[in-house]
Homo-oligomer: A and B are copies of this chain.
Amino acid sequence: MGIFNKLSFKDQAFKLREDAILDAATRMLASKGFDLMTMDDVALEVGISKPSLYKHFKSKEDLVGEALIRLIDGAIEHLGQMPATLTPLQRLSDLLEWALRVRLGGGLPFLPSTSAHVRDMLTRNLRYVARVLKLHQQLKALVRQAKAAGQLDAALPDDVILFSYYARTCDPSVDYLRLYSQLDDEAIVASMLRVCFDGLR
């Protein structure tokens, strides 16, 4: 029994450290991007050595994949927690707002991959692809409901709406507005939502 408790404690500590690693990786991905995030940096930030890091994640690709899976799961969870009273369009808007706030708070956008390298890497990560597909199906259903209710432009193909929607979560204008405009985070979120659904006109 004592042995089992001891193992359990170890496992708990292991799990805690794993979360710390994922947190650090997420922060660094958000600030520096995939290519400039080094395993040395992550290990240093967490306060462990590189070989220890590799005991948790067998490669950099694996680590990044897990961080993104956690993010997608957060989005799915946020979708599931929404009050039943919201319309499909309100759900889409609410999730985008959530994603923008996560990002402005130092987190990651989903669809972080404007780079073909990262995109290909993620495509080979079957667990990641499965999660993204699950989220994609839920969002596709919302888009169809919103279109049927006249809340989204029915002349636009589903794919166009969905990919444009994803693209807004990783829109570089957020970074530029933060750098070069006087808007605070609240105003940035509000502007992005308005531009997304109502356009520039």
Contacts and interface: CB of A to CB of B under 8 A. Distances in A.
Interface in A2-19: none
A156 interface: yes
A114 B172 contact: yes
Q: Is the interface on chain A under 10, 10 to 19, 20 to 34, or 35 or more residues? A: 35 or more
Contact of A173 (B166, B175, B183, B200): B166
Contact of A163 (B119, B163, B173, B201): B173
Interface string A150-177: 0111011101110111110011110111
Nearest to A109: B114
A107 interface: no
Interface in A114-161: 114-117, 119, 151-153, 155-157, 159-161
Interface of A: 31-33, 35-36, 89, 111, 113-117, 119, 151-153, 155-157, 159-161, 163-167, 170-173, 175-177, 180-181, 183, 191, 194-201
